[in-house]
Amino acid sequence: MPNQFAPRSRKVRVLATLGPASSSPEMIRKLFMAGADAFRINMSHGAHADKEPLVKAIRALEKELGRPSTILFDLQGPKLRVGKFEEGKVFLETGQTFVLDRDSTPGNADRVELPHKEIFAALEIGARLLLDDGKLVLRVSGVEKDRIETLVEVGGALSNSKGLNVPDVVVPMAALTKKDRIDLAFAVEQGADWIALSFVQRPEDVAEARRLIGGKAAVLAKIEKPAAVERLEEILELADAVMVARGDLGVELPPQQVPLVQKQIVETARRMGRPVVVATQMLESMIVSPSPTRAEVSDVATAIYDGADAIMLSAESAAGAWPEESVSMMDRIAIAVENDPGYKARLHFTQTLPDPTTADALSEAAKEIAETISAAAIICFTNSGASARRIARDRPSVPLLVLTPNEQTARRLGLLWGAHAVITKDVSNFEEMVAKSKRMALRHGIAKSGEKIIIMAGVPFGTPGSTNMLHVQRLTGKELEGHNSD
């Protein structure tokens, strides 16, 4: 077993979705050992009773290994669907007229129920409706209070309850459905570290979730609608992190636009100092195959070169035949990319200019000093995690050891690029800060005798938002003598 105290040998994080293929404590442990830094629990599938054992297994692993665990609950969001058909399925011909209405009578090849009244008020003539993940395309030719007439532009088979996407308008629906609110309360009760919001359209969606969560978990906004891309900076002002959710984003946007939007979201999030996750179909073929395609490997590598904080596995780890191997492959791709001599230059294509604050100035200075003096690591004392996020935003070339007395903060940092969080008692004076930094650097294997470390903290100690100090120290290698724990 690897040293439980040692940080990962790469800085990008791996977020693994749990599901039928990875629900046992044994498999969850295997996924962690293979490289999973955080675990996603998808609330679109299964009952609450299925989720509780997952949380218990993750927290038990945290206790066993002595390192914080990170749990993200992903809410389903307002999934739009058509009604049912008399025969269970119809075939729509390209060029025909097709009607969506409020009549609950089973549909046929001419019409079907659309049980979402908000869409009728929002649609305009000329807007597109995408069915079954974009396989069918309808163009709105007429709109009434309870009836939408469309022209079928791309036909095909359509069966009961297939999904509907409305890419051209903002639908006035709350981001949180009744189910989401129930699931949100459950997630908070279970001690979720992150709550992911699906189908965010506007900043108000994030504000509503924050109000309900009440600071008990961090908020991640999933960007999967064009409307959210248009208001990205406003959404990021309110969210703690963001996800490039390429599934529905790839349905609502032309395929060739998705890579451009992905880079835009990653760059904006990095510039604003918010962790960014790239997700969906990263190693899709590993659902059934023990090895990915070369194109998938390249896709994962591109996200890492762009500077994403985390890369995510969906069905690959949740329902596939090779969950452990999928995580291991992510881990190996990340290590290979980060060992590329050209990685650093590519990583800094995105400029992350500091805000005019003492903390931002010190964070940027820490990165520069680390490279100038060839320091082994940057050590950051933080209560809220804000200092760690500032340092990570600059993507330093050395490991970042985050020391915090706050268990909640340590767990949330599982999605932050390069951060290795340790829960430890706070310090009360300068000498104690230096001594603890040296011991932790040795104990966690990020520095050794004779190497220099950079320490970043705030005085007075224990005061949130007081980061105002940068200090360089050299290790003698004897700092652990007489100290068994911290």
Catalytic residues: 40, 81, 222, 280
What is the CA angle 317-320-323, rounded to 5? 40
Residue 271, Cβ neighbours under 10 Å: how many?
A: 15
Q: Give me the count of residues in the chain.
A: 486
Cis before residue 460, ω within 30 degrees of 0?
yes
With beta carbons less than 8 A apart as the criterion, state whether 409 and 430 touch: no
> In the chain, what is the straight-line distance between the N-terminal and C-terminal CA atoms, in Å?
23
With beta carbons less than 8 A apart as the criterion, state whether 442 and 448 touch: yes
Say if strands 38-42 and 377-381 run parallel, antiparallel, or are unpaired.
unpaired
Residue 251, classed as helix, strand or coil, is: helix
With beta carbons less than 8 A apart as the criterion, state whether 33 and 181 touch: no
Which pair of structure tokens corresponds to residue 418?
């390069």
- Cα atoms in the 13 Å half-sphere on the side-chain side of 57: 20
Q: Which helix (H) or strand (E) holds 48?
A: helix 48-65
d(CA 35, CA 61): 14
Q: Which residue has the tokens 């996407």?
A: 165
Q: What would the DSSP string read from start to end of 180-191?
A: HHHHHHHHHHTT
